[in-house]
Amino acid sequence: MDISVNTLEEAISIRRQIDNLEKRLSSLLAGAPPRPTAPTGRRYFSPGTRAKLSAAAKARWARKRGSTTAAPSRKKGQLTPAGRRKLSQLMKARWAARRKTGGTKKAPAKKKGTLTAAGRRRLSELMKARWAARRKAAAKK
């Protein structure tokens, strides 16, 4: 089977056109844009995810080679000592202001969803009237 370079390039071009048309067709039929797929048919990873995977692989290779040049990654969500000091000062100032004003105690919040005595009484009367109406309708039948 003797295939020239031009023939291969034309075949690749046609294949790309087919892929593009399939994507357009599926987006028209589904009503939503299709998720991008990897060119080899494997699972799609976003650029950010690919970067994380790459960094993890490089770190594994560095550990395997015994190289200690890899810098330890900074943990997320941790306060720096300066940030901790600043937060401490702010909290102390807040507590001092609260002590100075004698403290502000909030009134206990009213429970939601509970019936008052008047509401319970009214509901009872309505239910009794409803049952009486049902008994009366059943007696007529």
For residue 9, tell me if it sits in a domain. yes
For residue 2, tell me if it sits in a domain. yes
Q: What is the pLDDT along the chain (141 residues), one digit of tens a residue?
A: 577 888 888 999 999 999 999 988 888 887 655 566 656 667 888 889 999 999 999 999 998 888 555 566 666 778 889 999 999 999 999 999 999 888 666 666 777 778 889 999 999 999 999 999 999 999 987
**CA-CA distance, 9 to 14, in Å (whole number)?**
9
Cα radius of gyration (the chain): 36
For residue 11, the surrounding DSSP H or E stretch is helix 5-30
* Structural domain that includes position 19: 1-38
For residue 32, tell me if it sits in a domain. yes
For residue 60, tell me if it sits in a domain. no
For residue 99, tell me if it sits in a domain. no
| Token pair for 14 | 């046609």
The single residue listed with the structure tokens 């969803």 is: 113
Residue 13: C-alpha distances to residues 2, 23, 27, 28 (Å): 19, 16, 21, 23
For residue 30, tell me if it sits in a domain. yes
